[in-house]
């Protein structure tokens, strides 16, 4: 197996954070996490809401303009309230309101303000024109040109107050793409002296092969060779090989070990489709009790 060249980040530098909100309950659940990261790293927060006008087919252009102005004004008022919540008190927060396609507008914000990390939430459903994050969350974490931290609908209440990271989980298929997120995970692990578990899951269709799990030692050796040299020696490292459904095994491990952060290297959107509703990262985000960090530079999950 060919080694993967992994750039080493000497430290996590999060000077700028993009907090994308649709004003939904999951967006509010992400606020304590946004606050904890910003206070830890001295970050400036750009709180962004991208709104889409509702289609009014039975009104005149003049009336439509008035309705759209009212929608924009209402969104601006709610965004201002969001930026004045107790979680963000004392932090430098810049509200940004945009109208249009969320992926395009948020990508522009990332470039314009040199964003180091985007934080967003998903409620895992579609059909609400105002609640954009749920329908485009995966497109965003596969498209934005910076690491993305996604808070899913099942986030544990312990993250309302928890500010330390003690357990990190890195699921990997040992591909070049899956390694995209690893420098960030290694840097976070070093920052908190956290335990980092590397998990490779032998898929269901392969585990029935008599030799599949006999390769566990060689798989652990590959993880050791590819990733462990990049991990701070103060950090405990676990090399885990399991068989089964990848999503189920990742979630089971995360719950059993009370994992604080899961990291995926993901495939960039655009080559096949922008939505992979059956993909492992998306299913993990929807069910995970902890935040999920994603980054891309190639053919990941």
Fold designation for 16-151: Rossmann fold (3.40.50)
> Do 16-151 and 157-298 show the same overall fold?
yes
pLDDT confidence of residue 126: 44
The CATH number of the structural domain formed by 157-298 is 3.40.50.620
Number of neighbours of residue 226 by Cβ within 10 angstroms: 20
The mean pLDDT value for 162-166 works out to: 92
| Rounded CA separation 176/91 (Å) | 37
Confidence band for 54, pLDDT divided at 50, 70 and 90:
low
Q: Average the pLDDT over 106-123 and give the result.
A: 93
Closest CA to 228 of 193, 180, 182, 176: 182
Q: What's the pLDDT score for residue 68? A: 62
Q: Where along the chain do its domains lie?
A: 16-151, 157-298
Element (H, E) at 70: helix 61-83
Which pair of structure tokens corresponds to residue 215? 């390769």
pLDDT category at 275 given cuts 50, 70, 90 is very low
Packing angle of the helix pair 280-287, 132-141 (nearest 10 deg): 140
Residue of 134 and 180 predicted with greater confidence: 180
Find the angle CA(290)-CA(194)-CA(115) to the nearest 5 degrees: 60
- pLDDT: is 20 or 210 the higher one? 20
pLDDT at residue 65, rounded to an integer: 60
Residue 221 backbone dihedrals phi, psi, to 5 degrees:
-65, -40
pLDDT band at 130, cuts 50/70/90?
very low
Does 59 score more than 90 pLDDT? no
């Amino acid at each position: 197996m060919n080694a993967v060249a992994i750039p080493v980040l000497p430290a996590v530098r999060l000077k700028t954070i993009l907090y994308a909100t649709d004003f939904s309950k999951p967006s509010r659940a992400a606020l304590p996490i946004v606050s904890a990261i910003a206070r830890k790293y001295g970050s400036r927060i750009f709180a962004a809401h991208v709104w889409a006008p509702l289609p009014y087919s039975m009104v005149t252009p003049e009336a439509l303009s008035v309705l759209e102005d009212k929608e924009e004004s209402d969104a601006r008022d709610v965004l201002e309230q969001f930026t004045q919540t107790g979680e963000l008190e004392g932090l430098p927060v810049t509200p940004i309101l945009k109208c249009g396609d969320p992926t395009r507008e948020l990508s522009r914000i990332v470039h314009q303000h040199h964003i180091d990390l985007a934080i967003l939430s998903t409620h895992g459903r579609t059909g609400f024109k105002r609640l954009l994050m749920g329908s485009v969350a995966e497109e965003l974490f596969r498209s934005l040109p910076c690491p993305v931290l996604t808070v899913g609908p099942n986030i544990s209440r312990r993250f309302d107050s928890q500010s330390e990271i003690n357990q990190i989980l890195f699921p990997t298929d040992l591909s070049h793409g899956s390694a995209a997120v690893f420098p960030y995970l290694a840097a976070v692990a070093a920052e908190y002296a956290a335990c980092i578990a590397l998990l490779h899951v032998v898929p269901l269709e392969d585990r029935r092969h008599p030799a599949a799990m006999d390769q566990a030692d060689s798989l652990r050796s590959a993880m050791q060779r590819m990733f462990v040299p990049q991990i701070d020696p103060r950090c405990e490292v676990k090399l885990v090989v399991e068989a089964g459904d990848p999503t189920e095994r990742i979630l089971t491990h995360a719950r059993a070990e009370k994992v604080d952060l899961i990291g995926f290297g993901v495939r960039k959107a655009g080559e096949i489709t922008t939505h992979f509703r059956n993909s492992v990262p998306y299913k993990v985000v929807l069910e995970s009790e902890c935040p999920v960090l994603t980054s891309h530079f190639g053919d990941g999950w």
